[in-house]
Amino acid sequence: MRAVRNRPPRQAALQLKRLDPWSMLKLGLVLAVVLFFIWLVAVGVLYGVLDGMGVWDRLNGTYADLVSGEAPAAAR
């Protein structure tokens, strides 16, 4: 059988002494590209949801009514 330890486990403290600029540049570029693709997918999903709800058709219809110069159909 193993002997039971009476002391607590060791704790280590990690400190970064120097950050290499080239490594930080590469990390920043990778993060920027990944976040760009996440943003691109999010915008695509939002556009699809709004299109499914018919928002774009209503906006286009409202714009067409405004620029046509005619009175709205409800006011006739």
Q: How far apart are CA 50 and CA 44, in angstroms?
A: 10
pLDDT computed for residue 2 by the predictor: 63
If one counts the domains in the chain, the total is 1
pLDDT tens for 25-66 read 999 999 999 999 999 999 999 999 999 999 999 999 988 988
Does a structural domain hold residue 59?
A: yes
Does a structural domain hold residue 49?
A: yes
Does a structural domain hold residue 33?
A: no
Does a structural domain hold residue 3?
A: no
Does a structural domain hold residue 13?
A: no
Q: What pTM value is reported for the model?
A: 0.58
Does a structural domain hold residue 9?
A: no
Which domain covers residue 47, as residue numbers? 40-67
10 or 4, greater pLDDT: 10
Per-residue confidence band for 14, with pLDDT thresholds at 50, 70 and 90: confident
Does a structural domain hold residue 18?
A: no
